[in-house]
Amino acid sequence: MALCSRVVKSGVDSAIFFTKSRSINTSSLSSLCNRFDCRNISQLAKPNNNKRAFLVDTLALDYVLLYEIDKVTAGQRLDLNLERGRIRDELANQNAETSNLTNKLDREIHALRAHLEAAKYDVIKYCIGTLVSICAVGIATVRILISFEADLKFLYANDCYSTPFVVPKHL
């Protein structure tokens, strides 16, 4: 297995592609070694072997595919992050609009309650005014009746009238 890793590393070092792309980690190398039959590794170690060239080409294509997959995945991740940011901004705008509407409704409800309280106090004020007015008229009527009765008693007592004047009972 160690010989397989050395052959893969030596093939990777000779490839120009790997100088331009990302660095190779050992886990990807070990997974590549597992793909090939390492029992015939002695044949791959020979200098002018077609299998070695094929292995290097295969590894280069594998890394090209990995690079392209990573590029597409990164693009999709970027698109998803942009979409998530757009949705987050839209949600923040909706929350702000909802808060504004809630505040507006709260202000209108508070104004209506204040107006209702003012109307209630006006009704109470007018009711008290009406009751006081009715009481004043009643007291004035009683006073007038008392003074009228006193005048009648005075006239009857002085014998100003020959017949007594009788105040009707309903008064």
- Please check whether residue 125 lies inside any domain of the structure: no
- Please check whether residue 60 lies inside any domain of the structure: yes
Number of domains in the chain: 1
- pLDDT at residue 8, as a whole number: 44
Cβ(18)–Cβ(63) under 8 Å?
Answer: yes
- Please check whether residue 35 lies inside any domain of the structure: yes
- Please check whether residue 56 lies inside any domain of the structure: yes
- Please check whether residue 70 lies inside any domain of the structure: yes
- Please check whether residue 66 lies inside any domain of the structure: yes
Helix, strand, coil in percent for the chain, rounding step 5: 85, 0, 15
- pLDDT at residue 56, as a whole number: 81
Neighbouring residues of 42: CB distance < 8 A, sequence distance ≥ 6: 3
Question: In the predicted model, is pLDDT for residue 30 greater than 90?
Answer: no
- Please check whether residue 162 lies inside any domain of the structure: no
Q: Which of 76, 66, 71 is nearest to 17 (CA)?
A: 66
Question: What's the chain's average pLDDT?
Answer: 76
For the chain, how many helices (H) and strands (E)? 5, 0
3-class state of residue 107 by DSSP: helix
Query: How many residues are present in the chain?
Result: 171
- pLDDT at residue 54, as a whole number: 83
- Please check whether residue 27 lies inside any domain of the structure: yes
List, for residues 47-102, the tens digit of each pLDDT value.
Answer: 556 777 788 888 888 989 999 999 999 999 999 999 999 999 999 999 999 999 99
Question: In the predicted model, is pLDDT for residue 27 greater than 80?
Answer: no
Domain span holding position 54:
2-79
At 71, the amino acid letter reads K
Q: What is the pTM of this model?
A: 0.42
Q: Which of 8, 16, 19 is nearest to 59 (CA)?
A: 8
Q: Which of 16-25, 108-117, 122-131 has the lowest mean pLDDT?
A: 16-25
Question: In the predicted model, is pLDDT for residue 32 greater than 80?
Answer: no
Provide the token pair at 41: 């590794």
